[in-house]
Amino acid sequence: MSLEFSAEATKKIEALCERYPTRQPVVLAALHLAQKEHGHLSDDALALVARTLDLPLAHVYGVATFYTMFRRAPAGTNILRVCTNISCMLRGAYDVLAAFEQKLGVKKGGTAGAFTIVEEECLAACANAPAIVCGTRYFLDVTPDQAGAILEELRREPRPEGEVV
């Protein structure tokens, strides 16, 4: 199915294209807009970005699959980004990740209802490792036995990721 951008998104992309001598610097913004408008970056959404910016699909695919903030599949409202980099790993991040996987019944990368689990790189909260972020809500010094309470809080007060563009 061929997707389109809304008139508002098209206007934003056109304005950004005017600011740069080439289209490559606009790819990130266009991907954010495509994800916002179409929920995730399906093959059709990547084709839309490539077509809109007149860039090779391979280039757009390369950018979209490099960054963890882009989703290639539908996700829940709450995207639990569990850091497993060195500081968090040394303080039990894999046990924390396993606790969420067990509570939700899905492995990292999977979605269960309103939750998606993502294994994340450093969240710049190393002093309080292990760290998790969901939207703008940070959970610090997390232990596996807190998984249930964190999920309950997010069920009561969902934390969708904010707009970037």
- The one-character DSSP state at 109 is T
Tell which residue, 122, 118, 120, has the closest CA to residue 86.
122
Q: Is 108 in the site for ligand FES (CB under 6 A)?
A: no
* x/- letters, 77..106, toward ligand FES (CB under 6 A): ------x-xxxx------------------
Q: Considering the complex, what minimum distance in angstroms separates the CB of residue 130 from ligand FES?
A: 7
Spatial distance between the Cα atoms of 32 and 27, rounded to a whole number of angstroms: 9
From the CB of 86, what's the least distance to ligand FES, in Å?
6
Considering the complex, what minimum distance in angstroms separates the CB of residue 103 from ligand FES? 20
DSSP 96: H
Strands (E), the chain: 78-83, 111-112, 115-120, 132-134, 137-139
Q: Kindly state the smallest distance separating residue 133's Cβ from ligand FES, in Å.
A: 9
Nearest of 63, 80, 59 to residue 72 by alpha carbon: 63
Number of residues that bind ligand FES (CB under 6 A): 11
Query: What is the smallest separation between the CB atom of 125 and ligand FES, expressed in angstroms?
Result: 4
Between 117 and 136, how does the x/- string for binding to ligand FES read (CB under 6 A)? -----xx-xx--x-x-----
Q: How far is CA 70 from CA 22, 57, 131, 145, 150, in A?
A: 22, 16, 20, 29, 24
Judged by CB, which is closer to ligand FES: 64, or 129?
129
Q: Which residues contact ligand FES (rule: CB under 6 A)? A: 83, 85-88, 122-123, 125-126, 129, 131
